[in-house]
């Protein structure tokens, strides 16, 4: 899952020297005229006979509400909702944003007006245009964005970048002797440089100019790519077929925790957060890259570092996000280093994807009886001239980017929050362990692990997962949508081109919806029909409607199997001197909100 590029003090910290009077004065001058004219427009709309616009909280000139957001915008928007109501419009630089904080308003955005609200921001034609119906502007097979053509035409990576994995013939990094490739590499390097130099924000760069699913504007192209992603990776059948990857990673995790348990004591806890991120990387890496990822020569830690960097860039603050089409904002991003960081990360990840794709192009690969992975399936489509989709190398990379950026953190973060809640609530932990151990005793012939079949019988564990999604949805505000047409939400008029967020984090803690909302009490779902798959608007960790997460089955499978095995194979203790109440539950993040402080626990192997 991905998220808004909202600023926060930590990401703003390196920028502070630039938000100096010297910088602000020209900025203020430049934007003042626009800002005041947009204010006049808003006020004008409010005095018309039509529905009013949602009232904005107090704003600074030019910056609007930008500096009020803080490091956890979902908390700021909750405070705003308490004061101004559950549909509020804020102004962030030049970006108009509506935030909704009630199930009724969420339903209006995600169901009643789903079609009007189902594009994503940052798409140049809507930003610059007049807000006409974007559904009519379809990409088709030719991919309308100008830059896409340039990037798509390039097929190799820069010659001297990224030896991510090496050895035993798995190497696929462009070398000095690849002269032709080198020329092409220089080209893609230029393209990437241009991209960044032109101030394109993180999502645009890293999604290959919106050739992916998550950030792409609503269009026929997006629909086709989403279908493809589901077909090749996320359908129930596919998710079941990847059970081997989950089982292998669970084995690896249990092995390493068992070793720690054998060696350790209460004074030497393990960093469970770190282990769960590595596991999540492993599952997604295996289903996407197959044997390549599993081979010993694959440098997992470099890859994980690169993905971390990618997520940081995707979620980090850039001036251009809030002052689109502004030369000054681009200069500011250049001056703060944001543009260079983006370029660096893009080059690395792009070269890496090229290397993996090249590896999958080797003709002897599938002949050797290798299990087909996601890249194999996509390469097959790319090479099939009669196939249903005219894919290019960059389309494949866009899909890979979604798979990694959307899949790794969300699953890891969810399991970490659950284990934290269980440690704070020993009653719930005991009940969950009793359930999983009874089910395995009764049903499993291999009683060293819980298998996927066993997981389906764990009713209480499933309630725990649900309760956790209520309190800790990884995407606190969902991924921003953008209206393609003006529409009415909860009696308010919302203009075309408005960014929309749904504060699912705040709804999960609303006492008007939930009894004792701050309590972690899975039993609240015992006799309840409420589920998290997008039909119940009070619980939306995966969103809802056309842009809902297409990976509910995979996300849930990854979390449940791992959790069941953590509870089955181990008892868990807090490190020496730490009490249940001491566990820090603060969240931090940009794209995905994770637990701020790593979860350190002591595993005790179950006898
Ligand atoms: C616990 C696991 C996960 C959670 C909580 C989660 C949550 C979300 C959320 C909140 C959205 C935005 C929905 C909206 O805007 O209405 C989203 C979108 C998306 N997620 Fe997930 N996600 C999870 C796992 C995954 C995985 C494993 C993948 C891929 C392997 C994935 C791929 C995507 C994609 C491609 C989108 C964009 C869909 C679109 O714009 O059409 N997610 N996810």
Which of 325, 305, 229 has its CA nearest to residue 551? 229
Which of 209, 207, 200 has its CA nearest to residue 334? 200
pLDDT at 122: 67
Model confidence at 319: pLDDT above 60: yes
pLDDT at 236: 94
**Helix ranges (DSSP H) in 85-178:** 103-107, 124-128, 146-152
pLDDT at 444: 59
**Which comes out higher in pLDDT, residue 606 or 147?**
606
Which of 143, 121, 203, 158 has its CA nearest to residue 394? 143
Across-strand partners of 94? none
Instruction: Among 234-238, 349-353, 562-566, name the one with the lowest average pLDDT.
Output: 349-353
Can you tell me which atom of ligand 1 is nearest the CA of 414?
A: 1
ipTM for the predicted complex:
0.99
Q: What is the mean pLDDT of residues 216-231?
A: 93
pLDDT at 259: 94
Question: Could you tell me the pLDDT band of residue 289, with boundaries at 50, 70 and 90?
Answer: confident
Cα gap 554→406, rounded to integer Å = 11
- pTM to 2 decimal places: 0.82
Q: What is the mean pLDDT of residues 577-583?
A: 95
Question: Could you tell me the pLDDT band of residue 107, with boundaries at 50, 70 and 90?
Answer: very high
Q: What contacts 454, CB < 8 A, 6 or more positions away?
A: 436, 439, 440, 443, 444, 564
Which of 41, 27, 364, 344 has its CA nearest to residue 202? 344
Q: What is the mean pLDDT of residues 112-135?
A: 58
110, 410, 477, best to mutate for ligand 1 pocket (most atoms within 8 Å of CB): 410
Q: How far is the centre of ligand 1, averaged over its atoms, from the C-alpha of 2 (Å)?
A: 7
Model confidence at 202: pLDDT above 70: no
Cα gap 584→125, rounded to integer Å = 44
- Integer angstrom CA distances of residue 517 from 424, 430, 467: 16, 22, 10
Binding-site residues for heme sit at: 549
Ligand 1: which residue has its CA nearest to atom 25?
407
Q: What is the mean pLDDT of residues 149-160?
A: 25
Instruction: Among 193-202, 241-250, 566-575, name the one with the lowest average pLDDT.
Output: 193-202
- Mean residue pLDDT across the chain: 79
Model confidence at 572: pLDDT above 60: yes
- What whole-number percentage of the chain has pLDDT above 90? 52
Model confidence at 25: pLDDT above 50: no
**Helix ranges (DSSP H) in 270-337:** 272-289, 291-294, 300-315, 319-322, 327-336
Q: What is the mean pLDDT of residues 155-164?
A: 26
Q: What is the mean pLDDT of residues 30-53?
A: 45
Positive or negative: CA dihedral 69, 71, 77, 82: negative
- Other Cβ atoms less than 10 A from the Cβ of 194: the count is 14
**Which comes out higher in pLDDT, residue 270 or 16?**
270
Q: pLDDT tens, 445-504?
A: 566 899 999 999 999 999 999 999 999 999 999 999 999 999 999 999 999 999 999 999
SS3 (DSSP) at 215: coil
Q: How far is the centre of ligand 1, averaged over its atoms, from the C-alpha of 223 (Å)?
A: 15
Q: How far is the centre of ligand 1, averaged over its atoms, from the C-alpha of 189 (Å)?
A: 30
**Which comes out higher in pLDDT, residue 48 or 482?**
482
Model confidence at 33: pLDDT above 90: no
Instruction: Among 32-36, 58-62, 266-270, 600-604, name the one with the lowest average pLDDT.
Output: 32-36
Binding-site residues sit at: 549
Tell the burial category of 273 from Cβ atoms under 10 Å away from its Cβ (0-12, 13-18, 19+): buried
pLDDT at 29: 44
- DSSP conformation class of 421: H
Q: What is the mean pLDDT of residues 26-48?
A: 40
Can you tell me which atom of ligand 1 is nearest the CA of 216?
A: 40
- The number of angstroms, rounded, from the C-alpha of 268 to the middle of its chain's C-alpha atoms is 32
Say if CB 2 and CB 405 are below 8 A apart: yes
Which of 449, 424, 425 has its CA nearest to residue 436? 449
Domains, the chain: 220-605 (1.10.630.10)
Question: Could you tell me the pLDDT band of residue 533, with boundaries at 50, 70 and 90?
Answer: very high
Q: pLDDT tens, 382-437?
A: 998 887 888 899 999 999 999 988 888 999 999 999 999 999 999 999 999 999 99
242, 542, 557, 558, best to mutate for ligand 1 pocket (most atoms within 8 Å of CB): 542
Ligand 1 site residues (CB inside 6 A) read 1, 213-214, 226, 402-403, 406-407, 410-411, 414, 474-475, 478-479, 541-543, 547-551, 554-555, 559
Question: Could you tell me the pLDDT band of residue 145, with boundaries at 50, 70 and 90?
Answer: very low
Q: pLDDT tens, 479-496?
A: 999 999 999 999 999 999
């Amino acid at each position: 899952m991905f998220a808004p590029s909202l600023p926060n003090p930590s990401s703003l910290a390196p920028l502070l020297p630039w938000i100096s009077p010297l910088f602000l004065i020209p900025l203020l001058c430049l934007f003042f005229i626009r800002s005041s004219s947009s204010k006049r427009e808003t006020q004008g709309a409010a005095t018309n006979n039509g529905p009013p616009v949602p009232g904005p909280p107090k704003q600074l000139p030019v910056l609007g509400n930008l500096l009020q957001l803080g490091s956890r915008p979902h908390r700021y928007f909750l405070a705003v909702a308490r004061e101004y109501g559950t549909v509020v419009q804020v102004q962030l630089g030049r970006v108009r944003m509506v935030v909704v904080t009630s199930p009724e308003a969420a339903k209006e955005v995600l169901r009643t007006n789903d079609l009007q609200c189902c594009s994503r921001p940052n798409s140049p034609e809507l930003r610059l245009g007049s807000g006409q119906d974007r559904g009519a502007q379809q990409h088709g097979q030719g991919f309308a964005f100008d830059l896409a053509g340039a990037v798509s035409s390039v097929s190799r990576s820069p010659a001297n970048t990224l030896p991510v994995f090496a050895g035993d013939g798995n190497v696929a990094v462009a070398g000095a002797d690849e002269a032709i490739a080198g020329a092409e590499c220089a080209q893609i390097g230029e393209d990437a440089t241009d991209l960044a130099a032109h101030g394109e924000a993180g999502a645009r760069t890293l999604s290959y100019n919106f050739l992916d699913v998550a950030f792409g504007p609503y269009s026929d192209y997006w629909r086709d790519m989403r279908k493809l992603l589901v077909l090749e990776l996320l359908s129930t059948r596919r998710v079941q077929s990847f059970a081997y990857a989950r089982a292998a990673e669970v084995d690896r995790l249990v092995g390493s925790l068992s070793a720690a348990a054998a060696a350790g004591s209460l004074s030497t806890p393990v960093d469970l957060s770190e282990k769960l991120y590595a596991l999540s990387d492993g599952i997604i890496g295996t289903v996407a890259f197959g044997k390549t990822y599993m081979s010993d020569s694959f440098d997992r830690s470099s890859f994980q570092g690169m993905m971390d960097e990618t997520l940081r860039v995707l979620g980090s603050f850039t001036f251009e996000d809030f002052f689109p089409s502004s030369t000054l904002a681009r200069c500011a991003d250049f001056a703060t280093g944001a543009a260079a960081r983006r370029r660096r990360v893009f080059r690395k990840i792009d070269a890496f994807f090229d290397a993996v794709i090249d590896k999958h192009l080797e003709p002897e690969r599938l002949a050797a009886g290798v299990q087909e992975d996601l890249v194999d399936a996509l390469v097959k489509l790319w090479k099939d001239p009669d196939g249903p989709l005219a894919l290019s190398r960059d389309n494949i990379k866009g899909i890979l980017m979604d798979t990694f950026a959307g899949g790794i953190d969300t699953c890891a973060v969810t399991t970490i929050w659950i284990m934290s809640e269980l440690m704070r609530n020993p009653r719930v932990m005991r009940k969950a362990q009793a359930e999983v151990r009874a089910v395995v005793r009764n049903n499993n012939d291999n009683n060293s692990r819980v298998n996927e079949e066993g997981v389906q019988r764990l009713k209480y564990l499933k309630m725990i997962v649900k309760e956790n999604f209520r309190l800790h949805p990884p995407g606190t505000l969902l991924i921003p949508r953008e209206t393609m047409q003006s529409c009415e939400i909860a009696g308010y008029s919302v203009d075309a081109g408005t960014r929309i967020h749904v504060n699912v984090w705040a709804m999960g803690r609303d006492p008007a919806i939930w009894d004792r909302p701050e309590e972690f009490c899975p039993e609240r779902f015992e006799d309840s029909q409420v589920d998290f798959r997008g039909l119940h608007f009070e619980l939306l960790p995966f969103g809802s409607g056309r842009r809902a997460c297409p990976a509910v089955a995979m996300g849930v499978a990854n979390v449940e199997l791992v959790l069941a095995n953590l509870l089955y194979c181990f008892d868990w203790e807090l490190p020496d001197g730490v009490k249940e109440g001491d566990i820090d539950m603060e969240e931090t993040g940009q794209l995905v909100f994770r637990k701020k402080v790593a979860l350190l626990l002591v595993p005790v192997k179950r006898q």
